[in-house]
Amino acid sequence: MGWVRRHRFFLGVLGLGAVLRVITMLGYRPALWFPDSYTYIVTALRPRPDLVRPAGYSMFLRLLEPFHSFAFVTLVQHLLGLLVGVLVYLTARRLGAPGWAAVGASVPPLLDAYQIELEHLLVSDTLFAVLVMSAVCLGVRQTAGWRTACGIGLLLAAATLTRTVGLPMIALFAAWMLYRERGRVFTARVLMPAGVMLVAATLPILGYGAWFYATYQRVGIVGANGVFLYSKTMTFADCAVMKPPPDLAVLCDPRPPALRPPAQEYVWSQDSPLVKLPGITFTGTTDTMAGQFASLAIRSQPLDYLGSVASELVRSFTWGRPVYPDQEVYDYYEFPDRPPAPPGRYPATEGAESARRYERGPITTRIVEPYAGWMRTYQDIVRLPGTAVLVILLIPPIAAAVRRFRPESTAWVLPWTTAVVLLVMPPAVAEFDYRYVLPAVPAACLAAALVAGKPNFRNIPRNVRI
């Protein structure tokens, strides 16, 4: 009972988060669908590397396939969402954060309506978030032996094979492991954790890359990096400035950037210069051409590229939620009041048939009142505005600057830089999307909680009573 009393406020938040997730499952049965969902399911039932997305989430779905229930999949995803909140709270307390700061840091991942809605979507982001946060929580432990380093590496490999934005995390964590040993002579023993982590992270990715090469005779873990970077540069690319050679000039858009559609349209729309080329969009030749065009655009217009990244990044920090990139995508992140229309594109239609085999029954979302209405009302009221995310991000560096002459904790550095990388990478290589912001929030909240604590993580006793 003493433990319950000490953690009663967090347990109240956790309990409320669990209740909200139960209401969501009662109101939207069995799950909510996103266009990407169907591709994931096709790969789950016919395992092979996908050209656009790594297969980590598909393997997660395949692991749950014996239950033949998308309701069970969403249940597991909601449990993972609760786990993220638990990880934030426990890690903050173990590193000396006061109770109020640890509880406050757990509130956004546990109670934000958009986090809950994302967990109910059949997409990879919830799995990705828990993998990254697990690695972060291991990374700020008092000690980092080879077992911990190996665990971090495997978690980062799994995150990368779930969403490719996890790849920079491997370099970030290696740098962190060296940073936390600052002031010590870099002997083999000191360098060992970073080396073990790199090996543990690299081997699974290389293995997946070998599978990808055996399937497509292409190096990599996806075959769309050039295509998505091309779509990014089309927000500013000016062929009059770039002067591309004739073989790349076919990818130019004569319209001025202000009159062009969102970046994603250059990947999927039939009007895209890239999509008009012969063959499928993600052939090796097409992806290479797109990458060459994008590279030329960035080299020719570096300031325009940085301005485009900054303007997309700013969308993460708006108070409201203006419609972006279009109404269709925007609506997928809202609890609906009517069942969504069946998929129209051929790949999604094929995926819907695979989904029916996975479920062994109908997959249409049933909206059950009053539960669905409660969640729609809740989503209208309880959310984390983008401006609040910016404030949370600013707290750690400002606090560190104020305390520059005090021996305060540096453990906030890892979760803070993790959150920043997760926010910056999508606008840098593709485009902003509201769902890409959410996995960064728990790490940012943990960083903010840690600057409220006093001890340095090295000096905390190993057996902290929380």
pLDDT in tens, 424-462: 999 999 999 999 999 999 999 999 999 987 545 444 444
Q: Are residues 109 and 189 in the same domain?
A: yes
In a domain, 302, yes or no: yes
- Predicted confidence (pLDDT) at residue 236 exceeds the cutoff of 80: yes
Total domains in the fold of the chain: 2
| Residue 402: predicted pLDDT | 81
Q: Which residues pair with 29 in a beta bridge?
A: 366
Q: Are residues 282 and 210 in the same domain?
A: no
Q: Are residues 386 and 406 in the same domain?
A: yes
What range does the domain containing 447 cover?
2-220+320-459
Q: Are residues 151 and 234 in the same domain?
A: no
408-422, pLDDT tens digit by residue? Answer: 468 899 999 999 999
157 within 8 A of 200, measured Cβ to Cβ: yes
Q: What is the rounded average pLDDT of the residues 104-132? A: 97
| Residue 237: predicted pLDDT | 95
User: How far apart are the C-alpha atoms of 444 and 7, rounded to whole Å?
Assistant: 22
User: How far apart are the C-alpha atoms of 32 and 39, rounded to whole Å?
Assistant: 15
In a domain, 464, yes or no: no
| Residue 405: predicted pLDDT | 43
| Residue 346: predicted pLDDT | 54
Q: Are residues 83 and 211 in the same domain?
A: yes
User: Quick one: pLDDT band at residue 343, thresholds 50, 70, 90?
Assistant: low
Q: Are residues 327 and 310 in the same domain?
A: no
- Predicted confidence (pLDDT) at residue 213 exceeds the cutoff of 50: yes
Q: What is the mean pLDDT of the chain?
A: 91
Q: Are residues 63 and 162 in the same domain?
A: yes
| Residue 279: predicted pLDDT | 79
In a domain, 127, yes or no: yes
Q: Are residues 208 and 254 in the same domain?
A: no
| Residue 404: predicted pLDDT | 63
In a domain, 466, yes or no: no
In a domain, 335, yes or no: yes
In a domain, 264, yes or no: yes
Token pair 């203006």: residue: 322
Of 296, 317, 338, which closes a domain?
Answer: 317
Q: Are residues 96 and 232 in the same domain?
A: no
| Residue 463: predicted pLDDT | 44
In a domain, 182, yes or no: yes
* Biggest CA-to-CA distance, the chain: 74
User: How far apart are the C-alpha atoms of 40 and 223, rounded to whole Å?
Assistant: 16
Helix axes 70-94, 346-359, angle to 10 degrees: 90
User: How far apart are the C-alpha atoms of 129 and 6, rounded to whole Å?
Assistant: 27
| Residue 184: predicted pLDDT | 63
51-76, pLDDT tens digit by residue? Answer: 999 999 999 999 999 999 999 999 99
In a domain, 399, yes or no: yes
- What CA–CA distances, in Å, run from 312 to 14, 131, 316, 421? 33, 26, 8, 14
Percent of the residues in the chain that have a pLDDT greater than 70, as a whole number: 92
Most confidently modeled of 14-23, 251-260, 270-279? Answer: 14-23
- Map residue 237 onto helix, strand or coil: coil
Of 284, 317, 350, which closes a domain?
Answer: 317
Q: Are residues 260 and 296 in the same domain?
A: yes
Of 270, 292, 317, which closes a domain?
Answer: 317
Q: Are residues 259 and 328 in the same domain?
A: no
CA angle at 255 for the pair 253 and 260, rounded to the nearest 5°? 90
Q: What is the dihedral of CA 208, 210, 214, 218, to 10 degrees?
A: 100
For CA atoms 397, 403, 404, 408, the dihedral sign is negative
Q: Are residues 74 and 123 in the same domain?
A: yes
